[in-house]
Amino acid sequence: MTAAALTPASERLRGARCLVTGGSRGLGRALCLGFARAGAQVAFTYQRRVDDAEETRQALARAGAEARVFQGSVTDAGHAGRVVDDLIETWGGVDVLVNNAAVFRGHPTVLTDEEDWDEVMSVNVKGAYVFSRACLRPMLRAGAGHILNIGAFAVDRVSALPVVFAASKGALEAMTRAMAREVGRYGVRVNCLVPGLCDAGLGERLAAPRRDEYRQLAALGRLGDPDEVATFATWLVSPENAFMSGAVVTVDGGL
């Protein structure tokens, strides 16, 4: 994928081979559909929710994309290797990896046990490392590629989100900057997209008073729509955005 002039949204990712972890629902599903509508080939992973994964696959089919779907844990290096090997055999490579898979545990620090801490850090940080490492090998050989990590506003915005979740997403931002430095000379870009609270995923699980607090703090006075974030993500990983790497970009309604 090389730099290009501004193109129609439906052609923005034409021919790109995109892999989204945690793509069965919420923002992950919106990302998959956004990429498909922009002309990309789409693959996604999920762990447990078979019905949600099938719903996403069907939605992609209606959008004209025959998705590759993989079940497994993002923390399993063997799973990551098998997914990437399959895409190399089927597609010939991977152009875009989106590290979206994440878990959220809503307890304050004094009530967070070690198992919850380890799970959040393992999925949210190790999972991104494991899939990045697997995808970097073909990307480095190709001399091109884009890794997009999905962060969280909990890292540096006023919020009452749990410390373990904020810590994991802070680590993801640090990994973004360091990895961008490491692989930029080989033509691979690494960025982090920080979405605000949306009417999906975490936004659905938070209590109504927390959602109302967000609306009051946000300049636009509302929660986001996952499709809004996904539309921006298609540009972020496209050839039109060829000079950005190591960036943490926030789309949160002005929190």
pLDDT digits (tens, 9 = 90+) for 209-234: 878 888 888 889 999 899 999 999 99
Tell me what pLDDT residue 199 has: 81
Q: What's the mean pLDDT in 157-170?
A: 80
* pLDDT at residue 80 tops 90: yes
Between CA 101 and CA 119 the distance in angstroms is: 12
For all residues of the chain together, what is the average pLDDT? 91
Q: How far is CA 236 from CA 22, 52, 153, in A?
A: 19, 26, 18
Q: Could you tell me the pLDDT band of residue 28, with boundaries at 50, 70 and 90?
A: very high
- Domains present along the chain, CATH in parentheses: 11-198+226-244 (3.40.50.720)
> Can you give the pLDDT at residue 1?
47
Per residue in 234-246, pLDDT (tens digit) is 999 999 999 999 9
CA atoms of 215 and 209, how far apart (whole Å): 10
Q: Compute CA 242 distance to the chain's CA centroid, rounded to the nearest angstrom.
A: 19
- Tokens representing 70 are 């993989």
pLDDT of residue 88: 97
Q: How confident is the model at residue 4 (pLDDT cuts 50, 70, 90)?
A: very low
pLDDT in the model for residue 208: 82
Find out whether 196 and 218 touch, Cβ atoms under 8 Å.
yes
Q: What is the pTM of this model?
A: 0.92
